[in-house]
Structures are given as structure tokens and as C-alpha cells.
DNA sequence: CGCGAGCTTGACGTTGTTCAACTAGAGTGG
DNA sequence: CCACTCTAGTTGAACAACGTCAAGCTCGCG
């Protein structure tokens, strides 16, 4: 038995929205009273890395990327679809945002008061457990990504990302990718030119097909095998 | 302002032992009653990746590595010195150990009952906050490592590890390294031969000196610069 | 004294990046 | 409606970084 598989690495918890199920009407009302709901257009920066964290974000609708930058270097550490919390690291202890958050599609973001969320965690044990389930799943996801990005070669890394996008983000073998080649490069830790070459290879081998921004996975088993062998 | 620095990436919280300060006598007694304290010799496996998580570990004394393996690939995701919790991911949601834990020195490990720790988190808010501070610091640390390992070249990565070992683990510019070249390679995501060459380069440039397992950092500013430029 | 594991070194091969040139589509202003 | 520009995408060739391989070395230990 090979233990855990490092194959795909995306959100383990599909619907963090369910975290809200446990809240009483009073608790929901409190959150609602203090939240700010803001729309962002595709491409807009929602949070800038290094700024002080004052809110916990809940992505009501849309898709965002979390990325770290210094000078030339740019790494997308994660992608989050709707109904996910963002910036949970900042609940306790971590004062500054370790990453930037940018809208990949038009988004609706709720800024929750950090003190409100802390209060709920203290008050409502089911909510607390749900939140920490999300945080911990995210930790394991990050470990898997660390493994993938450092131990696998380009084709394996790219297979991982395709499986992730298909399995966890879009939940379909076809999807319209709101990511540029440069984004895909930052997500897989390679040069944009390498992304292009790998897509070409995968198309030649009939693993995927593309038309414009649309990607369809044709040979899932083979893709998983490539992910596994690295 | 460049925001966060990705320079070093080690434990943010020095003494997680302080987590226990908030516990009442009854709470301490409960933990104590149900804990198992076990000694491990250098090299022994404490937790094997993929096994079911039934305890939260507290490293009372010694030094351990957390590593992920599949076939040939081997990555050390973190090193933890004494007075640190291990396996906090498994508190909620994550059932299996995502990594192996191995003793780098002789260790004393406390196996805490996972239900006990959950009870304390529920019961004692200060303890809960302390624990989550540790977990969150670890998340940010992992992001920094992800950035370092994927974006920086060999010299930058190795400088990061030296700064980490010096600053956070041993808290001295000289220290006896209980890591083989192979461990250092797994920690920095490179080949053991590359580790050797970089140590040689650093010695030639008078950045460090070594005698046997002992390493001394001679030029900290330059090392930090190498870490920063990647 | 000899054996074996870890360490070290140099030569070589591969992977993946960089660079430069070219193409295609999307806005912009005359 | 047509240049014009700007950015994203694509391609091939040159190059650098890093891993792999093979050989020799060192040192602790039986």
C-alpha cells in the first residue's frame, strides 16, 4: 500500500458554504450586519500581499487565484472557486496577508469581520470544527502541492493541475479555462513556453483537446498515470 | 515596501510549550492521564505516512523531520525541534498522516489523545487560540517554503535552509547538524551532489565554515542577500 | 585490518529556461 | 473602415542549470 496519493491537489472540502449551516439566526444576523459585500471584475486585485489582514473573506461567487510575488518571481499557490473562505491563516497569529488574491472571473466577495468570526468559533463549536476542517484540508493540499512542484517533472506537474481543475474546480472533463498561459506557468512553476509545449504534447497524444479557452480531457486514466509517475 | 519577505521559512512560534500555560490543573491532569510518553532513538520512524491518525504528538525533546515519499522521490517538508506539536492537521477532517515523522536525534514524544485535545480546544479558549496560532504559522511557513523551493535556484534555497536552521532551530550561528547530505538534499529539493557543491562554494566564499557535522555561519548579511535574490 | 556507508569530485547528459522572431486577435484613433 | 499598437500565444534554437553516473575517498566500526 502506497499510502496517500500525491496525484491531485485541490480543495478537499467542496462546499465550505456548509460551515454556515450550524449558525443560529442571531449569529447569522451578526455576521450579516458587519459584512461588506463587494463585486470585483476579472483581473482586479482583491488583496495585495503584505497588507495587514483585517477581514476574513468569503468568496460568494466567482474564481480567484492566490499568488506570491517578489520581483520577477510569481507563484500561484492556490485557486479557489465560489463558496470558499480565503485568508483563514489570518484568524489567529498571522497579521499580514502572505499572498495576493486576484479575481480570475467576476467575483462577489464578502468581507467578514475577523472579530466576528473569532467570536463564532468561540461560541459555536460546530462552526469552529467546520472552519478548522477547511484549514486543515488546505494544509494537506499545500503539502501535496509542495511535493508535486518539487519532485515531479513538467508533464507530471501539468497533469496534476489539469486533474485538479477538472476534478475539484469545474467538476467536469470539459471546462473554459479563465487562466492565461502565464497563469498556468505560475501555477505549475514553469516557463510559459513550457506550458505551451506540454499542451502541444498532450494534444498530440490525444490526452486532451482544446479550442480557444476550452479544454477537454480525453484520456483521464493516462493523465492520472502521468501524474503518478511524475 | 515589498511586503512579506520570503527569506527564511521556519517555525514562527518559538515555544509552543506555552500552549500548556493556559490549562487548569484538571485539564493538565486529564491530558497527563491519557498521554503515552515514548523514547525514540535517532533514525527511528515515529509516524509512517499514510497510516491512520489517532493521536496528536507533542515533541518533548529532540528533533524530527517530516517527510513525504513515493518510490524514489523524497521530500522533507519540515523540521521540528523540541516543544512543538506534530500532526495538528489531523485534529479535524484529515484522517491519515500526510507525512512520515522520523527522529533526527534521540527524542521523547508524547502521544496525546486526539479527543482530549479536541475537548480542550472546545473547553479552553486560550488553549484553542494558541493551537491555531501554531497551525496558522505553519501554513504561512509552508507557503514560504513552496515559494522558495519552486522559485529560487540552488544557492538561494540552500541559503534559506541555513538561515532557518541557524535562526529558528538552533538559535546560534554555529550548530552541529544532525542531517546527512541526503537529508539536506531532500530538504532543499536537490541532488545530494548539489548540496556538496554548494557547501563548497559557500566555504570558498567565506560564507560558512565546517568541521565534520559542525557548521558556522561567517557572513550572515551575504547569506541573506543570496536568499533574497534567489 | 578490512568493510561499508556516506561523502566528494569531475565528466557528461538531460531538462527546462531564455531569447528572438513571428503570428493572431483585440482595442484605438484617424 | 483601415492602419496601428499592444498583448497573448507560438515556435525553434541556443544556452544554463541541475541531475546522473562512475570513480575514488574518508572514517567509523566490527
pLDDT tens over chain A, length 230 residues: 333 444 444 445 555 767 888 899 999 999 999 999 999 999 999 999 999 999 999 999 999 999 999 988 999 999 999 999 999 999 999 999 999 999 999 999 999 999 999 999 999 999 999 999 999 999 999 999 999 999 999 999 999 999 999 998 999 999 999 999 999 999 999 999 999 999 999 999 999 999 889 999 999 999 999 999 98
Q: How far does A24 lie from chain B, in Å, by closest CA?
A: 18
Domain ranges of chain B: 25-148, 153-229
Chain C nucleotides with an atom closer than 7 Å to a protein C-beta: 6-11, 15-20
Grid cell at residue B5: 519577505
- Residue-wise burial string across A77-100, b where 16 or more C-beta atoms lie within 10 A, e elsewhere: bbbbbbbbbbbbbbbbbbeebbbb
Cα–Cα distance measured from residue A212 to residue A177, given in angstroms and rounded to the nearest whole number: 9
Query: H-helix or E-strand containing B220?
Result: helix B220-229
* Nearest residue on chain A to B72, alpha-carbon basis: A151
Cα–Cα distance measured from residue A191 to residue A227, given in angstroms and rounded to the nearest whole number: 19
Q: How far does A211 lie from chain B, in Å, by closest CA?
A: 30
List chain A residues with CB under 8 Å of B136.
88-94, 135
Under CATH, what is the fold of the domain B153-229? Arc Repressor Mutant, subunit A (1.10.10)
- Say whether B99 and A144 touch across the interface (CB within 8 A): no
Query: H-helix or E-strand containing A60?
Result: strand A55-61
Under CATH, what is the fold of the domain A25-148? Jelly Rolls (2.60.120)
* Closest CA relative to residue A162, chosen from A173, A150, A178: A173
Return the nearest residue to D19, CA–C1'. B191
pTM over 0.95: no
- CA distance readout (Å), A131 to A127, B77, B117, B145: 6, 24, 17, 24
The reply to whether A230 has its C-beta less than 7 Å from any atom of strand D is no
The reply to whether A166 has its C-beta less than 7 Å from any atom of strand C is no
Q: Quick one: chain A helix, strand, coil %, rounded to 5?
A: 45, 25, 30
- Say whether B92 and A145 touch across the interface (CB within 8 A): no
- Say whether B150 and A147 touch across the interface (CB within 8 A): no
Torsion-angle region of A171 (φ positive above 0: left; ψ -120 to 50: alpha; else: beta): left
- How many beta carbons lie within 10 A of that of residue B219, not counting itself? 14
The reply to whether A189 has its C-beta less than 7 Å from any atom of strand C is yes
Chain D nucleotides with an atom closer than 7 Å to a protein C-beta: 8-13, 17-22
List chain B residues with CB under 8 Å of A157.
none
DSSP state at residue B90: G
- How many beta carbons lie within 10 A of that of residue A153, not counting itself? 11
CB A51 within 8 A of CB B3: yes
Amino acid at each position: 500500500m502506497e499510502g496517500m496519493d500525491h496525484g491531485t491537489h485541490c480543495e478537499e472540502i467542496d462546499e465550505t458554504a456548509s460551515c454556515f449551516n450550524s449558525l443560529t439566526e442571531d449569529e447569522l444576523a451578526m455576521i450579516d450586519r458587519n459584512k461588506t459585500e463587494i463585486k470585483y471584475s476579472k483581473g482586479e486585485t482583491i488583496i495585495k500581499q503584505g497588507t495587514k489582514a483585517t477581514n476574513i473573506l468569503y468568496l460568494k461567487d466567482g474564481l480567484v487565484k492566490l499568488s506570491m510575488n517578489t520581483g520577477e518571481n510569481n507563484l500561484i499557490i492556490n485557486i479557489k472557486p465560489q463558496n470558499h473562505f480565503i485568508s483563514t491563516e489570518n484568524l489567529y497569529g498571522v497579521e499580514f496577508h502572505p499572498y495576493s488574491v486576484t479575481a480570475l472571473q467576476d467575483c462577489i466577495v464578502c468581507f467578514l469581520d475577523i472579530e466576528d468570526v473569532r467570536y463564532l468559533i468561540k461560541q459555536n463549536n460546530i462552526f469552529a470544527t467546520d472552519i478548522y476542517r477547511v484549514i486543515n484540508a488546505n494544509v494537506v493540499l499545500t503539502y501535496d502541492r509542495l511535493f508535486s512542484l518539487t519532485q515531479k517533472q513538467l508533464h507530471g506537474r501539468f497533469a496534476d493541475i489539469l486533474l485538479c481543475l477538472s476534478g475539484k474546480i469545474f467538476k467536469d472533463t470539459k471546462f473554459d479555462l479563465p487562466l492565461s498561459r502565464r497563469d498556468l506557468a505560475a501555477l505549475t512553476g514553469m516557463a510559459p513556453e513550457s506550458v505551451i509545449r506540454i499542451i502541444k504534447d498532450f494534444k498530440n497524444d490525444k490526452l486532451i483537446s482544446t479550442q480557444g479557452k476550452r479544454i477537454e480531457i480525453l484520456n483521464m486514466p493516462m493523465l492520472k498515470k502521468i501524474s503518478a509517475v511524475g
